[in-house]
Amino acid sequence: MKRLMTGLLLLGWVIIAQAAAIHAFDFDDPKKEARFQQLSEELRCLVCQNQTLADSNAGLALDLRNELFKLIQRDASDKEIKNFMVSRYGDFVLYKPPVKATTYLLWFGPFILVVLALFILLRMIRRVGNQTTQSLSADDQQRVQQLLAEKKEN
pLDDT in tens, 7-48: 666 666 656 555 444 457 888 888 988 999 999 999 998 888
Give the number of other CB atoms < 10 A from CB of residue 40: 21
Burial 25-34 (b: 16+ CB within 10 A, else e): bebeeeeeee
The pLDDT, as a whole number, for residue 111 is: 94
Is residue 152 predicted with pLDDT exceeding 60? yes
Give 58's contacts (C-beta < 8 A, 6+ positions apart). 45, 47, 48
- Nearest-CA neighbor of 46 among 60, 65, 36, 57? 60
DSSP code of residue 32: H
CA 49 to chain CA centroid, nearest Å: 7
In the chain, where the domains are located? 8-97, 100-128
- More confident site: 136 or 72: 72
The pLDDT, as a whole number, for residue 13 is: 61
How confident is the model over 55-60, as a mean pLDDT? Answer: 85
User: Which stretch, 22-31, 74-83, 98-107, 127-136, has highest mean pLDDT?
Assistant: 74-83
The pLDDT, as a whole number, for residue 50 is: 82
Is residue 141 predicted with pLDDT exceeding 70? yes
Q: Is the dihedral of CA 97, 102, 108, 112 positive or negative?
A: negative
Question: What share of the chain has pLDDT > 90, as a percent?
Answer: 31
- More confident site: 111 or 28: 111
102 in Cβ contact with 91 (< 8 Å): yes
Q: How far apart are CA 67 and CA 110, in angstroms?
A: 33
What does pLDDT average to over the chain? 83
Give 129's contacts (C-beta < 8 A, 6+ positions apart). none
- Is domain 8-97 classified as CATH 2.40.50.100? no
How confident is the model over 73-96, as a mean pLDDT? Answer: 90
**β-bridge mates for residue 94, sequence order:** 43
User: Which stretch, 55-69, 74-88, 134-148, has highest mean pLDDT?
Assistant: 74-88
DSSP code of residue 135: P
Is residue 89 predicted with pLDDT exceeding 80? yes
